[in-house]
Homo-oligomer: A and B are copies of this chain.
Amino acid sequence: MSALRPTDAGLALLRVLWALGPGTIREVHRAWERERGTVAYTTALKLLQVMHDKGLVVRDTSRRSHVYAPAHDQQVVQGSLVTDLVNKAFGGSTVELVLRARSDRRIHADDPARIRALPDRLEEDPR
């Protein structure tokens, strides 16, 4: 049960993969450039290979153009990152993080209602 902490660049690529679904390196590269500007093709390639070594992505090498896909659901990785931040910056208290997030100025006007509408107890939460 390792940590599951993608780096910044790795996370950016994971976000591309989550949005795109499985894709070739070229497809991922193109989508990535659409968000980040010009990046060498081999940079995306290398990064995907590194992430594969770390178990963050899976790949299908049966065809010439390898197809990469996320190894974990977005929500699982997000949860891991949140837990990590909670441990490092909030002394393990998720409540403290939520409190801090709620006072974030970037929150949208209609968002408080959405937050409030969420279930309170974890046991009632499906996934």
Q: Please report A residues at the B interface, Cβ cutoff 8 Å.
A: 8, 11-12, 15, 75, 77-79, 81-83, 85-86, 88-92, 94-108, 111-116, 118-122, 125, 127
User: How many chain copies?
Assistant: 2
B103 and A125 within 8 A (CB): yes
A57 CB, nearest partner CB in chain B, Å = 16
A101 to B107, CA, bound (A): 15
Which of A83, A103, A112 has the most chain B CB atoms inside 10 A of its CB?
A: A103
Instruction: Tell me whether chain A's interface is mostly helix, strand or loop, or mixed.
Output: helix
Contact of A100 among B12, B75, B92, B100 (CB under 8 A): B75
Contact of A78 among B11, B90, B106 (CB under 8 A): B90
A107 and B78 within 8 A (CB): no
Could you show 27 A-B contacts with beta carbons less than 8 Å apart? A11-B89, A15-B89, A15-B91, A75-B100, A77-B89, A78-B89, A78-B90, A78-B100, A79-B100, A81-B85, A83-B106, A86-B101, A86-B104, A86-B106, A94-B102, A94-B106, A95-B108, A97-B101, A98-B115, A98-B118, A102-B119, A102-B120, A103-B125, A103-B127, A112-B121, A116-B116, A116-B120
